[in-house]
Amino acid sequence: MRILVDINHPAHVHYFRNFSTIMISKGHEVVFVSRNKDIAHRLLNLYNIPFIDRGKGQDGKIGKLLYMLYADLKLLQISWKYEPDVYLNFLHPYPSQVANLLGKVSLVFSDTEHASLHHKLTLPFATKVYTPSCFRLDLGKKQVRFNSFMELAYLHPNFYTPNPDVLQLLSLQPNEKYVIMRFVSWAAAHDYGHTGMSLENKIKAVKQISQYARVLITSEGKLPRDLEQYRISIPFHKMHDAIYYSSLLFGESATMASEAAVLGTPSIFIDNDGRGYTDEEEIKYGIVSNFTESEADQQRAIEKAVEILRNDGSTKKYKNVRDRMIYECIDTTQFMVDEVLAYDKG
């Protein structure tokens, strides 16, 4: 069986890299196509995954529409050459549109409820769309829910073992507490209308958190001089290790908040829309604290961070939460493998 995996964001490399390894070991052929966004190509090269470049994409509504036409044509040309049986991707429309045109199977994963435009452009053409069981929306008869999180496709103990060497890279003293703060650019299609945390409150959060732990910042955009000194500088593929050993993750990234959760690190997530999976990680597991972008909630988020850091005995508690989560959730990668193999006609 030939499988085309299309990557539209660096996180998607993590979602599908272990799937690819397993399928190739079973004798199937996997072709990766990737948009050149942020570190996506660097990640693919890091994991020795050959791929076909489909360009950088464009900004703005008109630019994104033009890029969709370009990406569809590019994928159509690739499909004529490789003749995939199954198209696999995380929510974006191009692979499903091409698969539908060619009468092929399109399997799509999604966990982002407010990505309404991508849902509208993808679902009509997809064969199935897979969402975590906690997904807030009913997407109709094509939707298949699974009891897990996307982050457990690569941070499940079956695939991930934390490496303490990252502590030396961070120049940390033995047993030194530290917090990772994550700020995003709000440039994605589903981020229109968001402002995120104010600069004033970012500075306030850093000052207050610094009283209890060392602050390390990772940011998609530029930082003011007051905050630049805190920017993290380690190899990008070491970030999961850094999260694992940290005392808290604080910021605007849903993916990193959930990564922290499945690694047993408490996280604070600030976003007006929220996510079904971070809700689940708060309500069921108590390891994520969700806040909106309102001024009042930004203040509450800072207060919650201080509260968590004051509780010195919390580390073991949260690692126990991780153990419970692993026990109760399925291996997302194995679920992918089983679903794709159901379409194997060989």
CATH number at residue 105: 3.40.50.2000
**Is 279 inside any structural domain?**
yes
Based on the domain organization, do 29 and 134 belong to the same domain? Answer: yes
- Structure token pair of residue 248: 């808290």
The predicted structure's pLDDT at residue 187? 43
Task: Examine residue 247 and state whether it is found in any structural domain, yes or no.
Answer: yes
Range of the domain at 59: 2-148+330-341
Distance CA 13, CA 9 (A): 7
> Is the distance from CB of 155 to CB of 259 less than 8 angstroms?
yes
| CA 341 from centroid of its chain's CA atoms | 24
- State the total domains in the chain: 2
**45 C-beta neighbours (distance < 10 Å), count:** 12
Quote the CA–CA distance of 176 and 189 in Å, as a whole number.
38
Sheet containing 51-53: which strands, arranged edge to edge?
51-53, 29-34, 2-7, 86-90, 105-109, 128-132, 143-146
Between the alpha carbon of residue 4 and those of residues 18, 26, 184, 249, the distances in Å are 15, 16, 29, 34
Task: Return per-residue pLDDT of the chain as tens, 346 residues.
Answer: 999 999 999 999 999 999 999 999 999 999 999 999 889 999 999 999 999 999 987 777 788 888 889 999 999 999 999 999 999 999 999 999 999 999 999 999 999 999 999 999 999 999 999 999 999 999 999 999 999 999 999 999 999 999 999 999 999 987 899 999 998 753 444 444 446 899 899 999 999 999 999 999 998 778 888 899 999 888 888 999 999 999 999 999 999 999 999 999 999 999 999 999 999 999 999 999 999 999 999 999 999 999 999 986 567 889 999 999 999 999 999 999 999 999 998 7
Report residue 89 CA to chain centroid gap: 13
Alpha-carbon distances, residue 203 vs 35, 221, 338 (angstroms): 34, 15, 47
Pair (126, 183) in one structural domain: no
Which tokens hold the place of 44? 């693919």
Residues 279 and 300 in one domain: yes
Q: Are residues 320 and 335 in the same domain?
A: no
**Residue 33, beta-bridge partner list:** 6, 52
Same domain, yes or no: 105 and 203: no
Element housing 334 (H / E): helix 332-341
Whether 174 is covered by a domain: the verdict is yes
156 in any annotated domain: no
**Residue 211, C-beta contacts closer than 8 angstroms, at least 6 positions apart:** 306
Residue 157 belongs to a domain: no
Region of 317 on the Ramachandran plot (φ > 0 left; ψ -120 to 50 alpha; else beta): alpha
Residues 238 and 300 both lie in one domain? yes
Q: Are residues 307 and 282 in the same domain?
A: yes
Residue 296 belongs to some domain of the structure: yes
pLDDT value, residue 185: 56
- Distance (Å, rounded) from C-alpha 10 to C-alpha 84? 22
Q: How far apart are the first and last CA of the chain?
A: 7
| Residues 330 and 147 sit within 8 Å (Cβ to Cβ) | yes
Residue of 135, 144, 50 whose CA lies nearest to 342: 144
Say whether both 220 and 278 belong to one domain: yes
Query: How far is residue 182 from each of residues 147, 215, 256, measured CA to CA in Å?
Result: 27, 11, 8
Query: Are residue 184 and residue 283 in the same domain, yes or no?
Result: yes
190 lies in some domain:
yes
Q: CA 224, CA 230: separation in Å to the nearest integer? A: 11
Q: In this structure, what token pair is assigned to residue 146?
A: 């699974």
Query: Is 346 part of any domain?
Result: no
pTM: 0.92
In terms of phi and psi (left: phi > 0; alpha: psi -120 to 50; beta: otherwise), the region of 193 is left
Burial of 142 (0-12, 13-18, 19+ CB in 10 A): middle
CA pair distance 14, 2, nearest whole angstrom: 20
Residue that the structure tokens 């399109």 belong to: 106
* Shared domain check, 309 and 178: yes
Whether residue 260 is found in the same domain as residue 144: no
Q: 133, 88, 131: which is closest to 112 by C-alpha?
A: 131
Residue 85 sits in the same domain as residue 191 = no
